[in-house]
A = this chain, B = another copy of it.
Amino acid sequence: MAAVSRRARSEREILSAAARTLADRPTAGMGEIASAAGIARGTLYRYFPTRESLLQALEAAADEEARQRLEEANLDQVPVDEGLARATRALVAVGEHFIVLLRERRPPEPGFTAVLAALLLRGQSGGQVRADVPVDVLVESLLVLVGVCVRAGRGAGTGSEDISSIALRLFLDGARRPPSDPALEGEVGD
C-alpha cells in the first residue's frame, strides 16, 4: 500500500509539474518536464512510457477533477441557473489547474461534457436556455469563455470568484448591456 500511495503521489506531482511546464511552454519536451518534476528523463518514462500517454494522463486528470467537482455540485438537483453558476465555478477551478488544456487539445473531453450537455438540455427544455443553438456548441462556448476569462484573470490577478462571475455573465447574458438591470446602472452612467 505504501508503494502504491507513494507512486500515486509521485504521479500527481509529475502531472502537476507537467501541467505547469506545458502551460508556460506548450512545446516543452520530455526532458524539460522531467527537470521541472525533479526527476530524470528515464524516470519520467517509467511513469509514462510515452509522451502521448503523459498528455492523456494529464487530460484524464483534468477530466477526473472536473467530473468530480461537477458531480459534487449536484447539477441535476438545482435550478438550471444555479447549476450553470456551479458548473462555471467548477470549470474555472479546473481551468486554473490545467491551463494547458484550455488550448491545443482538440476533442472536447467527452468525460465531463456530458453532464454539461445534460444541464443545458434541461435548460432548453425548461425554457431557460436558448434552443436555437445546438447543445454542443453551447458546451464548447462555455468552455472557451471560461478559458478566455481564466487566462485574462491570470494576467490581471483576478480572483476565482470574479473570473467565474464574468465568465457566467458572458456565457448566459452575452456582451449586450442588460437594459433593465439596476445593479449596473451606475457603472457606466446613463
Contact = CB atoms under 8 A, between A and B. Distances in A.
B175 A172 contact: yes
Contact of A137 (B127, B130, B152): B152
Contact of A144 (B130, B137, B148): B148
Contacts of A136: 152
Interface string A125-143: 1011111111011101110
* Size bin of chain A's contact surface: 35 or more
A130 B174 CA distance: 9
A15 to B, nearest CB: 23
Contact of A152 (B140, B145, B171): B140
B177 A129 contact: yes
A184 B132 contact: yes
A3 interface: no
A72 interface: no
Nearest to A156: B134
A130 B172 contact: no
Contacts of A188: 124-125, 127, 131
A166 B137 contact: yes
Contacts of A175: 120, 123, 129-130, 133, 138, 141-142, 171-172
A57 interface: no
19 contacts: A123-B175, A123-B177, A128-B177, A129-B177, A130-B169, A130-B173, A130-B177, A130-B184, A131-B177, A131-B184, A132-B166, A133-B169, A137-B148, A137-B166, A140-B148, A144-B147, A145-B145, A170-B174, A172-B174
Q: Which 6 A-B pairs have the closest CB atoms?
A: A174-B174, A131-B188, A144-B144, A173-B174, A130-B177, A140-B148
